[in-house]
């Protein structure tokens, strides 16, 4: 099932300012700590090092696609010469605009410089949002606001710029309007002057002769609610009614806490939503917060709609008495993660409802209970070539780990995993999802520490902190290595870099031993590979910082898994070594997969000589390429129980939800538990 929504961020690769704005827009849709549930998937324009637009652009990956065009002077300049089959940036922009006439695609063009319109004659009738007219200090926030508004409008099925996508209802106590801090006046003025919303502010908006209660109920039902919690708010009957109506009709709302002095009665239902502490000048922040909360509601409903079962009542916010008390006994409620705490569930228990999140449903039956699954995931040097960033890779790592943990799997990894900080996040997730998995936390994570990675000397604090969550398993030093440098290559060494032939040989032997152990009887039942160093950058040139082993680590892990009959799952769309493995399995050999290229690594040829001198196997790249090709996609499928077509889909898929679905399908088949 495709993603319900995907935002594409299109910019010229040579434009640093446009790239920064693209990342700012990504963060606005994914990393706002005030709206942690807002997670709108994004991709960046794919870069191949040529500076040209992608030769083949997938703009319909989701059910709904927002194409954000960041047009500047670099994009506006026509190329003097083009390789066969390639478009110029103006032509590409015009082509995108032409593709977005249908319902599955919406073009949102920002003009970053005065001469960046119309880019292409086909866009001559298209209104660009003039971001260049904004000050540099306010530009990113203004663009984020416009993106949120236009995406919300798109999800409501409205044409771009047709009308305000949000009808904002200002819920306030009239008794406090003229009292300090005069929050009503400041927000009303802000709405009148600068905001793309309609405001349902006062009784003057109610037509003469209308029934007051009906009009308020109709207004709230169609609106997002900005609650101005001033001194008398909780004591006013209509204020309380407005908030309860918003909850009954599942409308998004944000609370602006403008309380001064003592509130004699705090309204008990004024929670379960973002809250902003009022200070002078906070009107813009309050409205922006409400716009994002509105988009979160819309997106959450689309995501949950793909997961709901017959008869489900879908809520876009965590359930509470005010939102579920009218449901019939025995009803099933589906709401976004994270799950409610036990103390809240106890209060809802008398209602006799089944209240679940997607993760709680995923944990049903513990389809992967106690199944060790090895994760081989690290940063790719060519993420940009696939329209992704390190943030996308970390998001994939977190989501894959979360979905495995709640189903009872044991996560096994060696050495470093993901970007900085992820390893601790993994331990924290094991604690958080222990109740869902049905297993004690200590059985959930195994960190295989291969020699010469320090165990005793550098990890005491980490080990002490996490000893009740996971297991640190030392893989011993390979036999014979110590003779090369007895003082350094001790059983528990201090850290040393692979900065000589002998040291790189020691690192390579140690990492190979760890990876072989993970494929053996005490190791994992299956392995997942994603990303990883290859020694090559996106343009094919050598990297500055090479891997420390004999060959790229993820490639060695994939090779060993196939040789030992360990089910292997290859996620190729994040590039790197996993993408190289996908190519090799399909009989295609990347240029970087050769000794001529890989011997450019520091001390590579001298390390190879040490392997031969000490009688260690040295498999050349020709042999490895032949092995991968002989295994093929059919051989991969025989092990991981996905079909050949499903494996090819996993090679190319960027949709994280679909990636997880394919992984869980194969792992459940391997584990004999059926498809979850």
- What are the pLDDT digits (tens) for 281-297? 899 999 999 999 999 99
Given a cut of 90, is residue 490 above it in pLDDT? yes
- What pLDDT, on a 0 to 100 scale, did the predictor assign at position 457? 54
- What pLDDT, on a 0 to 100 scale, did the predictor assign at position 454? 83
* Residues 59/105, Cβ–Cβ less than 8 Å: yes
CATH number of 167-295: 3.40.50.10140
Rounded mean pLDDT, 194-216: 66
Tens of pLDDT, residue by residue over 179-195, are 899 999 999 888 876 66
For 318, 370, 465, the CA distances from 165, given in Å and listed in that order, are: 24, 48, 48
Could you name the CATH architecture of 6-155?
3-Layer(aba) Sandwich (3.40)
Copy the structure tokens of residue 147: 């993106």
- For residues 432 and 387, the model is more confident at 387
Tens of pLDDT, residue by residue over 603-623, are 999 999 999 999 999 999 999
* Residues 156/139, Cβ–Cβ less than 8 Å: no
- What pLDDT, on a 0 to 100 scale, did the predictor assign at position 415? 63
Rounded mean pLDDT, 521-530: 93
366: nearest Cα among 315, 405, 323, 317:
405
Distance CA 344, CA 390 (A): 36
Give the count of alpha carbons within 13 A of 571, CB side only: 31
Domains 6-155 and 167-295 equal at CATH topology level: yes
Domain boundaries along the sequence of the chain: 6-155, 167-295, 308-362, 372-669
Given a cut of 70, is residue 417 above it in pLDDT? no
Distance CA 255, CA 577 (A): 48
- Average pLDDT taken over every residue of the chain: 89
470: nearest Cα among 443, 502, 488, 436:
443
* Residues 57/176, Cβ–Cβ less than 8 Å: no
For 104, 461, 663, the CA distances from 7, given in Å and listed in that order, are: 12, 41, 24
Tens of pLDDT, residue by residue over 310-356, are 999 999 999 999 999 999 999 999 999 989 988 999 999 999 999 99
Given a cut of 60, is residue 437 above it in pLDDT? yes
Burial class (CB in 10 A: 0-12, 13-18, 19+), 84: exposed
Distance CA 293, CA 296 (A): 5
Rounded mean pLDDT, 6-28: 97
Distance CA 109, CA 131 (A): 10
């Amino acid at each position: 099932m495709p993603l319900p929504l995907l935002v594409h961020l299109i910019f010229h690769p040579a434009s640093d300012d446009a790239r920064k704005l693209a990342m700012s827009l990504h963060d606005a849709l994914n990393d706002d700590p005030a709206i942690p549930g807002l997670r709108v998937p994004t991709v960046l324009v794919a870069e191949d090092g040529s500076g040209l637009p992608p030769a083949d652009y997938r703009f319909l990956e989701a059910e709904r696609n927002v194409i954000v065009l960041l047009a500047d002077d670099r994009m506006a300049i026509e190329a003097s010469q083009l390789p066969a089959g390639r478009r110029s940036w103006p032509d590409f922009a015009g082509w995108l605009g032409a593709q977005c006439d249908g319902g599955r695609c919406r073009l949102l063009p920002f003009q970053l410089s005065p001469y960046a319109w119309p880019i292409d004659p086909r866009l001559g009738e298209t209104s660009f949002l003039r971001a260049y007219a904004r000050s540099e200090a306010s530009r990113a926030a203004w663009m984020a606001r416009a993106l949120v508004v236009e995406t919300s409008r798109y999800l409501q099925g409205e044409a771009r710029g047709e009308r305000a996508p949000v009808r904002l209802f200002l819920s306030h106590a009239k008794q406090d309007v003229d009292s300090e801090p005069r929050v009503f006046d400041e927000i009303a003025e802000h709405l009148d002057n600068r905001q793309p919303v309609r405001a349902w502010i006062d009784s003057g908006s109610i037509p003469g002769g209308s029934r007051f209660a009906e009009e308020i109920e109709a207004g709230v039902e169609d609106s997002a609610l900005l609650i101005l919690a001033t001194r008398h708010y909780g004591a006013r009957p209509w204020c309380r009614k407005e908030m309860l109506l918003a909850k009954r009709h599942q409308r998004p709302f944000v609370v602006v806490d403008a309380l001064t002095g003592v509130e004699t009665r705090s309204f008990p239902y004024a929670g379960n939503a973002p809250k902003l502490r009022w200070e002078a000048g906070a009107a813009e922040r309050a409205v922006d917060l409400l716009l994002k909360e509105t988009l979160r509601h819309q997106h959450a409903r689309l995501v949950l709609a793909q997961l709901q079962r017959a008869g489900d009542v879908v809520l876009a916010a965590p359930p509470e008495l005010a939102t579920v008390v009218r449901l019939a006994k025995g009803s099933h409620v589906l709401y976004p993660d994270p799950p409610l705490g036990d103390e809240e569930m106890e209060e809802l228990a008398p209602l006799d409802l089944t209240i679940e999140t997607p993760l709680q449903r995923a944990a049903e039956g513990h389809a992967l209970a106690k199944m060790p699954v090895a994760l081989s995931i690290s940063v790719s040097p060519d993420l940009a070539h696939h329209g992704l960033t390190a943030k996308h890779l970390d998001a994939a790592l977190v989501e894959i780990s979360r979905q495995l943990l709640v189903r009872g799997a044991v996560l096994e990894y060696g050495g470093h995993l993901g970007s900085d900080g992820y390893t601790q996040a993994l331990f924290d997730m094991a604690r958080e999802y222990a109740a869902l998995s049905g297993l004690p936390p200590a059985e959930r994570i195994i960190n295989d520490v291969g020699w010469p990675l320090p165990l005793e000397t550098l990890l005491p604090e980490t080990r002490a902190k996490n000893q009740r969550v996971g297991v640190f398993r030392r893989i011993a030093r390979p036999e014979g290595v110590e003779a090369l440098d007895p003082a350094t290559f001790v059983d528990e060494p201090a850290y040393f870099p692979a900065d000589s032939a002998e040291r790189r040989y020691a690192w390579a032997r140690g990492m190979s031993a760890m990876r072989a152990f993970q494929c053996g009887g005490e190791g994992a039942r299956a392995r997942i590979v994603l990303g990883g160093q290859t020694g090559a950058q996106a343009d094919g040139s050598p990297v500055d910082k090479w891997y420390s082993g004999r060959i790229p680590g993820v490639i060695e892990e994939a090779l060993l898994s196939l040789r030992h009959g360990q089910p292997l799952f290859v996620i190729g769309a994040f590039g790197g070594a996993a993408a190289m493995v996908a190519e090799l399995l399909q009989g295609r050999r990347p240029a970087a997969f050769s000794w001529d290229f890989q011997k450019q690594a520091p001390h590579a040829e001298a390390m190879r000589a040490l392997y031969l001198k000490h009688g260690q196997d040295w498999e050349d790249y020709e042999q490895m390429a032949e092995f991968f090709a002989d295994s093929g996609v059919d051989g991969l499928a025989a092990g991981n129980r996905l079909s050949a077509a499903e494996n090819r889909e996993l090679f190319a898929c960027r949709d994280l939800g679909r990636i997880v679905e394919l992984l869980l399908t194969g792992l459940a088949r391997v584990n004999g538990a059926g498809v979850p």
